Amino acid sequence: MSRQLDPLLQELDREISPSRDLWPAIEGRLDRSPLPATPRRPWLPWAMAACLLLTSLGGFLGGRLSRPAPHAPLLGMLELLQQQHQTQRQQLAPWGTGTLQLTSTLPGDQAATEALASIRGAERELFEALQTQPDNRELLQLWLWVQQRELDLINKQQQRHQRLQHL
């Protein structure tokens, strides 16, 4: 195929001359004054970047604030569990405050009161931690276990006092 193209290429002119003389038109344009320059605005890129930043920040915060908290149902469940525990505590200690109040100075009463205070402190701390991390399963199990230990301790103290009153 190249053998067929070679003779055709040799027949072509090496230069192509324009149909008319273009230099007078080119010289006429060179003599003219350039187009008016656009005014320089060095602050324009910074303004555009600031607008873009504010728009994206507003979209992020607006979307985040308009959405309900993802842990709202879990926090509601925690509050419900806390209320149920308070009810159970009051049922075990019906004398009003729901706390173990020991009027006698029987052996072991002081230790039981201190243990109960320690358990309740741990239960409060665990509940506060659960409010910040409601999807933490191990923390929830520990909180429920501590609540059960508190109820067990109150129950044992009441049984102990009932046995001592029968003696």
List, for residues 36-52, the tens digit of each pLDDT value.
667 778 888 888 888 88
Threshold 0.75, pTM exceeds: no
Judged on CB neighbours under 10 Å (0-12, 13-18, 19+), 11 is exposed
Q: Is residue 167 part of a domain?
A: yes
Q: Is residue 52 part of a domain?
A: no
Q: What is the pLDDT of residue 17?
A: 75
Give the domain range for residue 117. Answer: 109-167
Q: Is residue 63 part of a domain?
A: no
Q: Kindly indicate the confidence band of residue 116, based on its pLDDT and cuts at 50, 70 and 90.
A: confident
Q: What is the pLDDT of residue 103?
A: 47
Q: Does the structure show a pLDDT above 50 at 77?
A: yes
Q: Is residue 16 part of a domain?
A: no
Q: Is residue 51 part of a domain?
A: no
In the block, residue with structure tokens 């923390």: 139
Q: What is the pLDDT of residue 63?
A: 65
Q: Does the structure show a pLDDT above 80 at 149?
A: yes
Q: What is the pLDDT of residue 100?
A: 45
Q: Is residue 128 part of a domain?
A: yes
Tokens of 112: 């039981």
The count of structural domains within the chain is 1
Contacts for 129 with CB less than 8 Å, ≥ 6 apart: 136, 139
Q: Kindly indicate the confidence band of residue 72, based on its pLDDT and cuts at 50, 70 and 90.
A: low
Q: Kindly indicate the confidence band of residue 109, based on its pLDDT and cuts at 50, 70 and 90.
A: confident
20-54 burial, b at 16+ Cβ within 10 Å, e below that, comes to eeeeeeeeeeeeeeeeeeeeeeeeeeeeeeeeeee
Q: In the predicted model, what is the mean pLDDT of residues 115-139?
A: 85
132-154 burial, b at 16+ Cβ within 10 Å, e below that, comes to eebeeeebbebbeebbeebeebb
- Of 26-30, 54-58, 77-81, 100-104, the one with minimum mean pLDDT is 100-104
Q: Is residue 164 part of a domain?
A: yes
Q: Kindly indicate the confidence band of residue 68, based on its pLDDT and cuts at 50, 70 and 90.
A: low
Q: In the predicted model, what is the mean pLDDT of residues 124-143?
A: 84
Length of the chain in terms of residues written? 167
Q: Is residue 55 part of a domain?
A: no
